Structure 1
Amino acid sequence: MTFLWPEMLWGLIAVPLLVLLYVWLLRRRKKSSLRYASLGLVKEAMGKSVAWRRHLPPALLLTAITALLIAAGRPAAVITLPTAEKTIVLAIDVSGSMRATDVQPDRMTAAKEAAKAFVADLPRTVRIAVVQFAGTAAVVQAPTLSREDVVAAIERFQLQRGTAIGSGIVLSLATLFPDAGIDLSQITGQREMPPAPGDKPKPVFTPVPPGSYGSAAIILLTDGQRTTGPDPVEAAKMAADRGVRVYTVGIGTKEGETIGFEGWSMRVRLDEDTLKNISNMTRADYYYAGTAADLKQVYQGLSTRLIVEKKETEISALFAAAGALLVVLAAGLSVWWFGRVA
């Protein structure tokens, strides 16, 4: 816990002074009561049960003063809160290896069903975009609040050749930051056109700490290794420099699977090392799903994790409310037991 106005905490020095003052007043009252023998008889008749009642209201009042003094210092703490607004990009591998049946009924169908369940679990305030990647990458659904449009985009997936994991990451970043001037020439295969005389200059890019951008995240699912496109690690560095977390999900058997497609066959193997590097660089996590049930559990966990965020929030109101409640409680007990506030 930190304090925005720490100098106000010097007021806490008054708390032990008030305790000493209270003890001094008790001793003074005790000396005065010794002058009257009848008071001692009354005290003995009342018993020891009343003694703690006499001290409880002042103790509550001192605790209230302490809480109010802490509130004056404007304390702040990192607490978990629901996200007010967020954009999540689902970057999903649609390479030919996704037709493998080691994940039942096949990798692509399992990925589609898990993604649709994930979309259904997210709050309606979260925008979702969908990027597919194989030999190239494409935005099949721009960020939207419409769950129906996202599900329709997922259903339109078509298997293609190649695996360009880096392209999926770069295009996801360009989707999140459309005005950032991210170079997509490696993805589209087209040369970047020189700026026209009337065009605005590209904004100056300033890197931020990895994982610091809390308004967006990328969830990347793949089952193989990069065969084309930009280096996934370099693409992950671009995401890290923009503070975007890239959660990676590996699907399929770790040992690999031999698949056939249009007269040719190949053995595909999950590149876990690269996926772990991507998640580590962007301060996210890597998840492995060997079955369709595992994949659904991964997405369920991500759904719960991404709809909340940890933020440093001022909690002065909590201490102030606790202090006010304790003052009321102390006064109420004093009136109830002794018929007076003080």
Structure 2
Amino acid sequence: MSNLASPWWLLLLLVVAALCAAYIYVQRQRRKRALTFANLDLLNRVAPQQHSRWRHVPIALLLVSLTLLVVGVAAPQADRRVPRNKATVILVMDVSRSMNATDVPPTRIRAAQDAAKKFADELTDGINLGLISFAGTAATLVSPTPDHNATKQAVDKLRLDDKTATGEGIFAAIQQIKTLNAVLGGDAAAPPARIVLLSDGKETVPDNPDDPRGAFTAARKAKEEKIPISTISFGTMNGTVDLEGDLVPVPVDDESLRKIANLSGGQFFTAASLDELNKVYETLQQQIGYEKRRGDNSRPWLIVGTLLALLSAFAALAINRRLP
């Protein structure tokens, strides 16, 4: 009953039940009247026995169709996935030199750029998308805007630099979201927001992620502001970069990125290839770009009920040579 907008219409099912009972009654009375004939030969000629049960098909179809139509009129409700009208998403991308590793061809940064542009291109219209890059410091490249092309163009201009200040990137994203929320009328009227953090390495600035500007502190701040962080650990444990002729190992750091996600109330993902990264972004698109809304679901009931009513009429003409 809770799935129906107008459940009182179901009282019409009593009428359908009464119609079914009346049909059974009429069938029995018809046979009783026929039995009043004393001459059995005459009885067989006047009211021959109908052994075929197909004659009941038209009324059965009619009763089922009426039941479906009544349920349709009662307006059943269902959850539907619909595009969000508004939301805020900040892409926070690591541009430290470890992103030049070639374990994800052609390099981690090039693959990350391709996936980020694909994500921006396919994200639901109306969602405010921004871009922040971070190495030793954070830089806001695109403030949140529904113009996703701006983010795509900025992604192409990412340049690598020294060090990894993950916390600064998160703090910058939080500030951008709060600034937009203030423009939109305050946190109470603000659309849902999320930070998507892509990185491959451990934070190096500051040394301790629990410092005031550290990544874990920033994650707790995001939790306080009700902004979950979806972290993506991108790369493999075998990654290396060429620094002046020396191959330096740059394995991904799953542990710290998982903790950032947990502290903020977000989700942690891993991606060891461009295909895997695209799948992660597709998952995020579904979570961010769509929402479930309860709405009218009567159309299927009305369509099937109407088709069965028409089928009942054709069956009556074909089997009983009359309408039910």
Do these two structures clear the TM 0.5 threshold for a shared fold by scoring above it?
A: yes
Question: In 2, Cα distance between the equivalents of 1:311 and 1:242?
Answer: 25
Cross-structure match for 1:71: 72
User: Of 308, 311, 317, which residue of structure 1 is paired with 2:299?
Assistant: 317
Give the number of the structure whose alpha-carbon radius of gyration is greater: 2
Q: Which runs of 5+ in 2 are unaligned?
A: 38-42, 207-211
Cross-structure match for 2:276: 294
**Secondary structure of 1:132 counterpart:** strand
Higher deviation after alignment, 263-272 or 66-75: 263-272
Aligned identity (percent) is 30
Change (3 A) 1:314 1:278: farther
Change (3 A) 1:139 1:326: farther
Cross-structure match for 2:235: 252
**Secondary structure of 1:329 counterpart:** helix
The question of 1:38 aligning with 2:45 is answered: yes
Question: In 2, Cα distance between the equivalents of 1:305 and 1:64?
Answer: 38
Q: Spell out the pairing of 1:203-242 with structure 2 (5 A cutoff).
A: 203=186, 217-227=194-204, 228=206, 230=213, 232=215, 235-236=218-219
* Amino acid across the alignment from 2:153: A
**Secondary structure of 1:253 counterpart:** coil
**Pairwise CA distance, 1:221:** 0.9
Q: Spell out the pairing of 1:154-169 with structure 2 (5 A cutoff).
A: 154-169=155-170
Change (3 A) 1:76 1:243: farther
Q: Aligned pairs, how many?
A: 310
**Pairwise CA distance, 1:83:** 4.6
Q: Which runs of 5+ in 1 are unaligned?
A: 183-201
* Amino acid across the alignment from 1:251: F
Change (3 A) 1:278 1:64: farther
Question: In 1, Cα distance between the equivalents of 2:294 and 2:120?
Answer: 28
1:86-143 Cα shifts (integer Å, max 9, x gaps): 5543221112321233323322122112222333444556553222223333321233
Cross-structure match for 2:40: none
Cross-structure match for 2:323: 341
Structure 1 length-normalised TM: 0.71
1:207-226 Cα shifts (integer Å, max 9, x gaps): 99xxxx6x654432111223
* Amino acid across the alignment from 1:115: A
Q: Spell out the pairing of 1:1-342 with structure 2 (5 A cutoff).
A: 2-34=3-35, 35=37, 36-41=43-48, 43=49, 48=52, 51-52=53-54, 54-83=55-84, 87-122=88-123, 127-180=128-181, 203=186, 217-227=194-204, 228=206, 230=213, 232=215, 235-236=218-219, 246-254=229-237, 259=241, 268-279=250-261, 285-303=267-285, 307-342=289-324
* Amino acid across the alignment from 2:201: G
Question: In 2, Cα distance between the equivalents of 1:62 and 1:336?
Answer: 18
Question: In 2, Cα distance between the equivalents of 1:163 and 1:259?
Answer: 15
Q: Is the 8 A contact 1:96 1:162 kept in 2?
A: yes
Change (3 A) 1:323 1:280: farther
* Amino acid across the alignment from 1:247: S
Question: In 1, Cα distance between the equivalents of 2:67 and 2:285?
Answer: 40
